[in-house]
Each structure stands twice: as structure tokens, then as C-alpha cells.
Structure 1
Amino acid sequence: MHDPNRIAGLIAAQAHAQRQRLQIAAAAGAVVSVAAVCLLGLSGWFITGAALAGMAGMAAVQAFNYMMPSAIIRLLAILRTGARYIERVAGHEAALKALARLRPQLFDALASAPPERALSLSSGEASARLVQDVDAVQTLFVRKSAPWALGAGAASSALLAGLASPLAGGLLLAAMTVSCLGVMVIARRLSDPAGKEAQIAVGALKDRLAALEAVAPELKAYDLNDWAVQQAASAADRHDSAQIALTTSAGWMTVSQAVVTAAALAVVVFATLGAPLSLTALAALATIMGMESAAGLVGALHQNGAAKAAIARLDQAAPQVLPHDGTRPPPPSLTLIAANANLRPPHRLGLSGPSGAGKTTFIERLIGLRDAHPGEVVMGGLDIASLSPATRRARFAYAAQDVRLLNGTVRDNLLLAGPGGDDTLWRVLEDAALAERIRAEPLGLDMPVGVNGERLSGGERRRLGLARAYLRTAPWLVLDEPTEGLDAATEAQVLKALERRLVENKQGLILVSHRTAPIQICQTRLRIEGMAQDGRVLVTPERQTAVV
């Protein structure tokens, strides 16, 4: 089930949680605009007035008050600097604290989504969603002070211009309205599409780079480095083109604002003809700073397309989580319907069959990594298709054929399965025939394994995944090709430890293997022949084909 407002709801919740900091940032932004407008306007009035007083003679010089305007100018300069600092600190602190809470929520939503959605994103695309897209959302928090700054700047500049002529104040407000409307049109036509394309392009670039990195050894072996560079360059070109378009739109916004500012300055000065020159100078400089107060809005609109695209992409990546079915975990008994096989821990089931027949697909359906077909398997008297994936997963400890490892230490990768002290970690490594290899390392359990375990061999990665599955407490242990790539002696050592663990823990076993030795430790053996037209796997129990 997809909830298109889910991410917007999370963002709104974080904005509410950070409302105090955002209010401080908005108030400080308003003070910055007012101080900047008054500072430049008063400076223009003061310099012009002082010059006119000097030209009028000594009597005018003696009567002119230099002290009070000088003190106010210094005060305004201090206020502008201090308020700018407060605005930046409060706004960015609110954004960073919000994102620190958003990222875990987004990751949880992604990981808890329906299996077909959660597993459909590549690592590069998922990384782009959780990094670049969330960074784009950050601007929503930082720019919340922009409307307040614009409003305060418009009001103060219009008031100062109105001191010279009420018409000048009205014309300035009209010019600021025209400037904002023009920037909004440019943003909608240029910035929004470019920002959306930039978010998509960075995801495609990271996806391509991740895919090429994953097959780096093969690319080197087949001398395809030049081809890989071209593939990466092609994805980078799309990203660069989007960034160029986005930068170009920012340039047009700046040009538009500059043109309207020049026109506003001309009409305001014209409207103040007949007023004292010092007030004309005040109105002119207040106009410039008033128009400048719209800069925050320009930046917000420039980034608006990227932010909207990021929210849409995050909504797509993290749809509504499937609700828990609300039932207690069923008993761990399993019935494979068509095979008429009733299993209960500590029973051992072996699955064999040709490559591509659907062995891995079947166990992934069973344990909740894929949608289950009704009528395939019954767990504790309930069809597994009626159970949520989370309920099913709780009954199994799984070691996949394709082992995925964190770019961390051996300890980090083991503790993914659950808590355990050093003694427990060494015990599961012993049972996986990997303890001797890890003890040989100076750092032991704190040895880094590298990106996806690149510092380990294929067999060692597989055994580390096996050790991780041993740490998880569950009625059933599910192993997919646990001894693939191992020599006979190591395989025998692993299987001996596996049998001992199954007896000690009274744990059931579901094992997939092409090899004879692992299948021989299983009491029930089924052969999976392929997939039926309805998607279910074909099983041969005792030489008879049936549909499961």
C-alpha cells in the first residue's frame, strides 16, 4: 500500500519538533532584513545630509547631529551581524537535528516495506535516496526563514522610501511583487525541471558506479576498464547537464532580479523628485536593500524543484509499511502441502535440483523475503500467505547464498544477527571453521573486512555469513549452499559442527545444496524440478512430481 504523503508527514513532524529553533531562525532573519535596509538607508541619508550641511556653512555644520546617526548605524551593523549568525546557527541546527531523525526513519521505512519493493532498489539508488535526496530535503528547513526575511525587508524598505514620498513606497512594493512573480515563473519553467532531473541523474550515476564497482575484478580480467569509464562518463554527463541547466536557471533568476531592481530604483528616485536630497538617497538605498531581501526567496525557489523531486523519490522508495498481522508467532511446524511433508524442529529438510529451478526462490518465499503463494506452505496451521513477512522472518535464521557484508569489522558483521559476547562470537566462528583465520589477524574480531568483504575469500565470506546465522535464535536454520566453494576437509569440519549445533539447540534445518555431503545429513530430501505456470515450484518427493 502506497501513501504518497508519508514523507511529507515525517518532514512536517520534524518541523514541528524543531519549531523553536525555526522560529528563532525566522525572527533572526527578519531582524537581518530590517537592520540591513535601515543600515544602508540611514547611511545614505547621513552621508548626504552631512555633505549638504557642510556645503551650507559653519552654522549648518554646528546644528547637524552627527552623534546619534553614527551610533544608530553602529547598532544596526551589530544587529545585522549578530542576527545573521543566530539565523544560520538556529536554521542549520534545526535542519541537521531533523535529518538525524529522518534518515533512520526513512531507512526503517525502506527496510520494512513489502519485500518486492524493499529489494527492488539497487545499492547505488538506495544510497542516492538516503543521501542526496535527504540532503535536498534539508533546504526545506534552512529556508523557512526566507518568507519572514522578505516580509520584514519589504515593509521596512517601503516605510523608509515612503519618508521621501508615499508614492515611492507604493512603487517599491509593486516592484518587489513583480520581482517575486518573475522569479517564480522562472523557477517553475526552468529550475523545477532541472532540479528534478538533477535528483534523478545523481541516482542513476551512483547506481551505475555501484554496479561497475561490484564487477571491478571481472572488468580488469577482461580488459574492460575503458568501457567502464565510458559507462561512468555517460551517466556523469547526464548529471552534469542537469547541474548546468540548474545553474543556468539561477543565472536567469539573478538577471531578472537585477533588471527589476534597476527599474525599481529608477521609478523610486523619480517619485521622490522634490523631496530633500538626503531623503531621496535614503529611499534609493532602501530600495536596493529591499530588493536584496528577496534573495532568500530566490534561493528557496531555485532549490524547490530538487526538494519536490526528492520528496517524491523518497515516497516511492519508502511506501507504507505492511501492517503486522497482529497475531502471536505461530508454532514452528511446517507442512509442505503438495509434498505431504510435515516438519517440526529438529527435523532436517534437504532441497536439491538443477540450477535455476527455484530453490532459492522457494525458501525466500518461505521466510518472508518474497510474497508467498497461497497453498504452498502451512506454518502452525496457518497458510504462510496470510502471515506478514515480519512474522515469518521471526521463525527463521538465514544464511544466504549471496552473502552481503558491511564495510566494517568481523564483529560488526556478526552482531547484525543479535547480541553476543566475545566468547559467543568465537564459538560461532569455530563452528563455521573460520576462527583460525580470524585469530591469525592482529585485530582479531576487530579486523576490517572491507567493502562487501573484499579482504576475505569467497569461501570465507560464505562461512562468515554462516557464523552470523548461528547467532540468531530461531526454530529453523535455513542455509542456502553453505559449503559451496569449500574443500572437502573444510566442508566436513563445517558439517560436523552444524550437526552438533542442531542437536544441542534442537533447531530444525532447511538446507539447499548441489553437493552430496550436506544433503546426506538431512532426514527428508526433496528435489525441486522447476517452476509451474502459476509461479509455484515443482517438487519431486519420492520420485513423484507435485506442485508446492
Structure 2
Amino acid sequence: MAVAAGSVALLGVSGWFITACALAGLAGPIAAGAFNYVLPAAIIRLCAILRTGGRYAERVIGHDAALGALARLRPKLFAAILAAPVERALSLSVGDASSRMVQDVDVLEARFVRLPVPWGLAAGVLAGLAMLVPAGIAPAAATLGILVMTLGLGWVLAWLSAEVGRDVQRSIARLKDRYAALVSSASELRAYGLEDWAAQEIARESEALLRAQKQLTAWGGWFALLQAMGAGIAAMLAMALSAHQSLPLAAMAALGAAMTVDCAGPFLRGLEARGSWDEAARRLDRVLDNLPSPIPAAVSLSDRPDIRLLRPGARLVPGSVTGLTGRSGIGKTTILEQLVGLRADEAVTILLDGLPLPAIDLARLRATFSFAPQDAAMLSGTVRDNLLLAATPATSDDDLWQVLEDAVLAETVRGLPQGLDTWIGENGAVLSGGERRRLNLARAYLRAAPWLLLDEPTAGLDAVTEQRVVERLRARLAGSGQGAIIVSHRPAPLALCTSLITLTESGAEILGLPGWGPSRLGDHSLHIVPIV
């Protein structure tokens, strides 16, 4: 309101001042010399300062509200991506997720800022009519007609340009997705001499984005032309219809008409961006509207739940160690991912404490397992940062060094420049493949869960290091009483297991291994029995 009031006052005083100056000049040198221009000039400056201050406050308040909304939206969006149905979360690439988190959310900032625009338009129209009505009903009616026509044509332009706005958002998403994929493969691209091809791929997506942005800019020119023509036509028409009035009233009517139509500018710019807004909102809704259904809160688990695989039929007793083998692609990793709620597979039915996995709250389900996946991602941070992902508030540095000892990595970390606080780079680039695997293993050890799920824990390790890792794992399991499921093709980690489940196309073979009974694992030896 302060901006509108300042604008109206500025237009009125300026119009009166210009007209008075002209009349004083026509009256001759004596009248011109006696004309008081100091007071009107001071009033004009005051109105300009009032309008500028109001506009500044409007921007501060509007952007503060918008940025506050976005600050709440981004964590919600991130949580939605993590909690989305497995098939959707796994299908979302890094580039696409980044585009939604950054670009799409930023586009909505302008939408939030422009939420008060219709109210500003209404205030501007009322102020303009207050200037037009003294000159007559005809100028006011004509100005309203021009305004309605301008807004109507704006809606038509918005409808015609909406697809271009949507294409800009999609082009940005494709460019970011392609860029992220190629950057993550930079080493391979360089090794095979494909840098030029990768650059051409980025250039192709960039050209597509540039074309879409040029088209959107061209449509923006039509919106600007519509606003300028509408304001000019309204001013000339209002002046013509006020010709029978005094010159000051006619001038005020022209200024009021131009101001009234000019108030539609922010509204038209919002229509111009409507396609981009709608596409950004649609892309975000696809993430936010696909959250899992609420889980009944009545489901509970014991502190040490057993696991039953209905296909294959087997029961895994708490504290037992089971090996899971079979050819590549048969579904071993899928079973582990099912247990931690990362994947759904109708071919394998799993009960935890007699309850089907979908009936168990995800937080409770994941607290039951500590998972070391085969291809674990590392944070772009320090050794400590990566370990603390699985830590609790009570975790101490002694605990961190203990799990590193168990993973045969403590000596390596002590040799790093800052020890636990050494930066390991993007996805652990400073570490070797074997060191990253052992850091992943140490992270899984840090979580005090009833079951330990290990997917190829010794792959890529030399025989001596592998044997040390296996012996430390044997001692850890014996001391902690944790149960474990180990997926591996290597004999060393499978030697820890009291039973093996070998997955085949026709089902599974379940084999109990002698020599690993209670004498080796206390009271937590494994018992797997077929379920009838």
C-alpha cells in the first residue's frame, strides 16, 4: 500500500508541477520568476523516497517470506526423496534430484514473491479510478476496458507460451542430469579418449536449453509490448475523452489511465512465467505426492528378531551367521535390500518376528539391521563424517578407532595427514577401492543392530588383508552376539558361516556346515530349517 500511495502521490504532484510550470512559463517572465518550485520539488522527492522505501520493504518482506517457505520446502523434498517408494527413489538420478532440489525450488521462489500481486493490482486500479473519476465516467470506463483487454490478451499469451516455459525447465533438468552423469564418469571418459564426445553431449543439451530460453525471451517481448501498448492507448483515450475538462483534469486522467494499466505489469510477468512455474510444481509434486502410506503403529519387534524366508523356506535364528550364495543376478543383494526396506520383490517373502516386512515401520525395520552394501557411497567429507553416519550421540573417538581396527583400517587412517579428520574427497576419491570397502565395513560395525548384513565384504582385497578382515569379523561376531547374513562368492568370508543358502532358479539349497557350532559362536549358532 505504501508503494501504491507513493506512486499515486508522485504522479499527481508531478503532473500538477509540470502543468503549473508550463502555465507559469506561458504567463511571462514575471510569473515564472514568482513561481514557487521549491515546495513541489521537495514533495516530489518525498514521494519518491516513500515509494522507494515502500518498494524496498515490500521486497524484503516478500523475499523473507518466500525464502522461509523454500527453507522449509527443501528439507521436506529431501525427506520425500529418501522416503519415496523404492522403485521411484532408485530411478531418480543424481542430476535429476539436484535439478528438482535447486532449479525447480528456485523457480517457485518467484511464485511465492508474486502471491500479493493481485492485491497490488486491485489497489492500483482503485487509485487510478480515483484519479479518473473527477474527469468523468467515460475515461474511467474506457481505462477499465483497456485493462480487461490487456489482461485477457495476457492470458492468451500465457496459454500460447506455457509449453515453452515448461520446455525450459525440462531442458535445464536434462542438462544437469547429463552433466552429472558424465562428470561421474570422467576417469573412464579420459581413459577411452572420449572427452570430445562428452563435450559434444553437453553442448547438445546446452543448445537445446539455449533455444528454449530464446523462445521464452521472445514471448517476454510480446508481454512487454502488450503492457506498453495498453498503457499508451489507455492514456491517449482517457485524454481524448477528457478534452472537454480543464487541462489539469485531462492531464490527471491521462496519468491515471497510464498508471492503472501499468499496474498490470507484475501480473503480466507472472503470466509470462506461468509455464515454468507449472512445470516446476509438477516435477516437485511427483516427488512429494508419492510418499509411502502410513504404517500402523501397533506393530512391534523383539530386541533380537528372527528372520524367515518363505521362498526359499528357511529360518534364521538370532545370533546366527548365514552365507548367501548363487550366481550373479540371482537375487542375493535383493534379499538384503528387502530387509532394510530399499527394495520390494514379490518373488521372495520375508517375515521378521513372524511379521511381513511391509507391515513394519521403516524406522524400526532399519534399526534392526546394519547394512554394508557392495557399492557404498562415501560422503564428500572426512573419515569421521563418514563413520558418524551410523553413530549415536554417545559414540566416542575410541568407538571410531575400535571399528576401524575391526575393519583392518586403523593403521591406514593413523597414517593420513589429519587422521579421522582427513578429507577423503568426492565419494572417497583419496582412498583406494579396498580402503573404501573397509571404511564401509567399519561404518556398518559402528551401528549396534541385532543383525549385520554384509554384501561382498572382502571383494577387491588381497588374500592377507582379507584373512585379517575375516578373523576380526569372527571375533566381533563372537563377542557381540550379532547375527549376520553374508553375501559372497569368496570362500574366506563364507568360512564364518554355520549354514549356507545357495539361491538357484528353481529355489534354494540349504546346507548346514559342521564344525561351527556353539563351541565357536557361543549360544548363537545358526539353525536354518525349512518352513512347511
CA contact (8 A) 2:96 2:177 kept: yes
- Report the alpha carbon displacement of residue 68 of structure 1 after superposing the two structures with TM: 5.3
SS, match of residue 541 in structure 1: strand
Instruction: Return the alpha-carbon distance in structure 2 between the equivalents of residues 240 and 187 of structure 1.
Output: 20
Instruction: Return the alpha-carbon distance in structure 2 between the equivalents of residues 141 and 199 of structure 1.
Output: 18
- Report the alpha carbon displacement of residue 59 of structure 1 after superposing the two structures with TM: 8.1
Q: In structure 1, what is the equivalent of residue 521 of structure 2?
A: none
The answer to which of 502-511 and 234-243 deviates more is: 234-243
CA contact (8 A) 2:299 2:361 kept: no
Mapped pair 1:150 → 2:150: no
Q: In structure 2, what is the equivalent of residue 541 of structure 1?
A: 510
Q: Which residue type is aligned with residue 444 of structure 1?
A: G
1:435 to 406, 410, 413: 410
SS, match of residue 308 in structure 2: strand
The answer to which of 374-383 and 139-148 deviates more is: 374-383
Instruction: Return the alpha-carbon distance in structure 1 between the equivalents of residues 8 and 85 of structure 2.
Output: 54
Mapped pair 1:267 → 2:237: yes
Q: In structure 2, what is the equivalent of residue 226 of structure 1?
A: 196
Higher relative contact order (CA closer than 8 Å, sequence separation 6+)? 1
Mapped pair 1:258 → 2:232: no
Instruction: Return the alpha-carbon distance in structure 1 between the equivalents of residues 210 and 438 of structure 2.
Output: 43
Aligned residues: 510
Q: Which residue type is aligned with residue 373 of structure 1?
A: E
* 1:372–1:382 distance in 2 versus 1, CA, 3 Å: farther
SS, match of residue 119 in structure 1: helix
- Report the alpha carbon displacement of residue 408 of structure 1 after superposing the two structures with TM: 1.7
CA contact (8 A) 1:158 1:170 kept: no
Instruction: Return the alpha-carbon distance in structure 1 between the equivalents of residues 111 and 278 of structure 2.
Output: 10
- The 5 A counterparts of 1:241-252 are 241-252=211-222
Instruction: Return the alpha-carbon distance in structure 1 between the equivalents of residues 474 and 426 of structure 2.
Output: 32
Q: In structure 2, what is the equivalent of residue 403 of structure 1?
A: 376
Instruction: Return the alpha-carbon distance in structure 2 between the equivalents of residues 153 and 475 of structure 1.
Output: 67
CA contact (8 A) 1:334 1:378 kept: yes
CA contact (8 A) 1:38 1:286 kept: no
SS, match of residue 381 in structure 2: coil
Mapped pair 1:349 → 2:322: yes
Instruction: Return the alpha-carbon distance in structure 1 between the equivalents of residues 132 and 31 of structure 2.
Output: 25
Q: In structure 2, what is the equivalent of residue 387 of structure 1?
A: 360
- Report the alpha carbon displacement of residue 278 of structure 1 after superposing the two structures with TM: 2.9
Instruction: Return the alpha-carbon distance in structure 2 between the equivalents of residues 289 and 338 of structure 1.
Output: 75
- Report the alpha carbon displacement of residue 423 of structure 1 after superposing the two structures with TM: 1.7
Instruction: Return the alpha-carbon distance in structure 2 between the equivalents of residues 499 and 542 of structure 1.
Output: 20
CA contact (8 A) 1:33 1:293 kept: no
CA contact (8 A) 1:399 1:480 kept: yes
CA contact (8 A) 1:195 1:246 kept: yes
Q: In structure 1, what is the equivalent of residue 449 of structure 2?
A: 474
Q: In structure 1, what is the equivalent of residue 517 of structure 2?
A: none
Instruction: Return the alpha-carbon distance in structure 1 between the equivalents of residues 312 and 244 of structure 2.
Output: 101
CA contact (8 A) 2:299 2:360 kept: no
Identical residues among aligned pairs (%): 46
Q: In structure 2, what is the equivalent of residue 56 of structure 1?
A: 27
Q: Which residue type is aligned with residue 251 of structure 1?
A: G
**Superposed CA offset, 1:508-543 (max 9, x none):** 01000111100111111111224x6xxxxx322249
- The 5 A counterparts of 1:503-522 are 503-522=478-497
**Superposed CA offset, 1:320-374 (max 9, x none):** 3331232344231112235443222210001112222221112212321111437
Instruction: Return the alpha-carbon distance in structure 2 between the equivalents of residues 280 and 65 of structure 1.
Output: 23
CA contact (8 A) 2:320 2:484 kept: yes
**Superposed CA offset, 1:473-525 (max 9, x none):** 21100010111101111112211221222122210010001111001111111
**Superposed CA offset, 1:432-456 (max 9, x none):** 1222222222222222222222222
Tell me the TM-score normalised to structure 1 length: 0.87
- Report the alpha carbon displacement of residue 396 of structure 1 after superposing the two structures with TM: 0.7
Instruction: Return the alpha-carbon distance in structure 2 between the equivalents of residues 154 and 315 of structure 1.
Output: 35
Q: Which residue type is aligned with residue 77 of structure 1?
A: A
Mapped pair 1:83 → 2:58: no
Instruction: Return the alpha-carbon distance in structure 2 between the equivalents of residues 412 and 123 of structure 1.
Output: 21
The answer to which of 224-233 and 375-384 deviates more is: 375-384
Instruction: Return the alpha-carbon distance in structure 1 between the equivalents of residues 418 and 254 of structure 2.
Output: 70
Mapped pair 1:360 → 2:333: yes
Instruction: Return the alpha-carbon distance in structure 2 between the equivalents of residues 149 and 65 of structure 1.
Output: 35
**Superposed CA offset, 1:132-170 (max 9, x none):** 111112122211221122222222122223333332222
- Report the alpha carbon displacement of residue 283 of structure 1 after superposing the two structures with TM: 2.6
Instruction: Return the alpha-carbon distance in structure 1 between the equivalents of residues 298 and 378 of structure 2.
Output: 32
Instruction: Return the alpha-carbon distance in structure 2 between the equivalents of residues 547 and 259 of structure 1.
Output: 81
* 1:473–1:328 distance in 2 versus 1, CA, 3 Å: farther
**Superposed CA offset, 1:81-118 (max 9, x none):** 11011001001111111111111111112211221222
**Superposed CA offset, 1:11-61 (max 9, x none):** xxxxxxxxxxxxxxxxxxx32133223313320221112320342357866
- Report the alpha carbon displacement of residue 70 of structure 1 after superposing the two structures with TM: 3.8
Mapped pair 1:376 → 2:349: yes
1:494 to 469, 476, 480: 469
Q: In structure 1, what is the equivalent of residue 136 of structure 2?
A: 165
Tell me the TM-score normalised to structure 2 length: 0.90
Mapped pair 1:107 → 2:82: no
- The 5 A counterparts of 1:270-281 are 270-281=240-251
Q: In structure 2, what is the equivalent of residue 448 of structure 1?
A: 423
Instruction: Return the alpha-carbon distance in structure 2 between the equivalents of residues 177 and 84 of structure 1.
Output: 26
